[in-house]
Structures are given as C-alpha cells and as structure tokens.
Amino acid sequence: MAVLKELLEYQSVDGELRKIEQEVAASEERKKYIQAKKFMETAGDKLEAQDKRARDLKALFEKLTEEFEEINKTIAEYADLDEMVENGGDISFYKKSVQSLVDRLRAMKGELNKLASDIENASEEYKRMKKQTISMQKQYKEYNEKFKEVKNARAEEVKEINARLETIGAKIPPEILERYKAKRRDKIFPVVVPLNGEFCICGRDFPLAQQGALSGGGVVECEHCHRFIYKN
C-alpha cells in the first residue's frame, strides 16, 4: 500500500472538513434543533399514554362511585333492623353485616379521594405536556431553519474542501480510499497515524513481521483500532 504521501495529504485536507463539521455540530442552533427533534419523536406516544392513564383513572373512579352508592343503598335497607329482628332475624349477623359495609364504605371513601387527586394530577400533567409539545413544535421549526442557515454559511468552504479531496482522492486506489472513508464514518480520526516505537496510537503492540511491511512508505492496518499505520 505505497500511497502514504497521498493518504497523508488527503487526511490533512479532510481534517479541515472535520473541523467545520465539529463547529457546526457544536452550534447552539443544532443543539436546540436536536433537542426539539428528539422530544417530538416521542411526544405523541407520551401524550397518548398520559391520556389513556387519565381515561383509566376516570373509569375506575366511576366504578368505585357506583359501588359506593350500592353499599349506601344496602346500608339503608338496615333502617328497619328492629322489624327484621322481630320477624326472627339474627341481630348479631345484621350488626356484623352493617359493620362490614361501613368499614368498606370508609375504605372506599379514601380510595375515591385518592383517585380524584390522581385524576386531577394526570389532567394537569397532560396539559403541561401538551403545552410543552406545542412549544417544542415551534422550537423545532425555528431551529431547523436556523441550523440550515448555519450549514449554508459554511457551504462554500465545504464545497471547496470537497473539491480538493476529490482531486487528491483520484490519486488513491479506490478500495483504499473507500476503506479510509468507512473509518471516517465510524468516527475514527486521525485515520492514518505513525507507528510509535513498536506500538500503534491505540496502544496495541505491532508485530515485527508487520513492522517490516512499513518500510519504504508502506501502510498497514492495525488489527485492533483499524487505523492505517506508517513508519516515519
């Protein structure tokens, strides 16, 4: 792989492009855009989940309210307890039944109060999320345009650098250039690095057999970090 000079030249120019990419990526406009974009990707599901929770709580509240009223009616039937006893009813049984109903009624009252509070909280959370979603929709639209402006402001620089890269890349065998670009897409940079004594930049030692292939401007791919290694 005797293309060391061309690879180093290509990487030098590519470094200029990478710097622009990093500056654009670090811009406040992109951060705001990405923040809104991520929120919008899940906002619909979150709103639907919150809406479903409110509906489920309401249904449970209605069910408990109905049961509460039924128990009240049953207790009311014991208003004629004296007459029931006179007709041969077991007073101890009636008292236990009424006490059981009263206990359940008290417990249900607490459940209903908690449910009413949960419903109110769910409703407020839904309103808050909906308001936030509307705000993020506006932010997404606004910062999408601003991010485009940031990229467009550097478009000429990027175009000029890409033209230089294309010229240099024409001198590099296509398969090697594609391997370089693949590493770049994998966030590896620098791609082409010098051997540091007997070690790669990643810290992995380089076998003597492979070191021999570096003589005369040869380049070898590190088996660990997959960078192109050369020898000064």
Kindly list the structural domains of the chain, giving each domain's residue range(s) and its CATH number in brackets, ordered by start: 27-160 (1.10.287)
In three-state form (DSSP H/G/I as H, E/B as E, the rest C), the secondary structure along 145-179 is HHHHHHHHHCHHHHHHHHHHHHHHHCCCCHHHHHH
Sign of torsion over alpha carbons 88, 93, 95, 100: negative
- Average pLDDT per 10 consecutive residues for the chain, totaling 232 residues: 84 97 96 92 83 81 80 68 54 67 75 80 84 92 95 96 97 94 94 89 80 75 88 82
pLDDT at 78: 61
3-class DSSP state of 96: helix
pLDDT at 91: 59
Q: Are 232 and 18 in contact (CB under 8 A)?
A: no
What is the spatial order of strands in the sheet that 192-194 belongs to?
192-194, 228-230, 220-221
pLDDT at 220: 85
pLDDT at 177: 95
Alpha-helical (H) ranges within the chain are 4-25, 28-77, 81-86, 91-153, 155-169, 174-185, 208-212
pLDDT at 11: 96
Tell me the pTM: 0.67
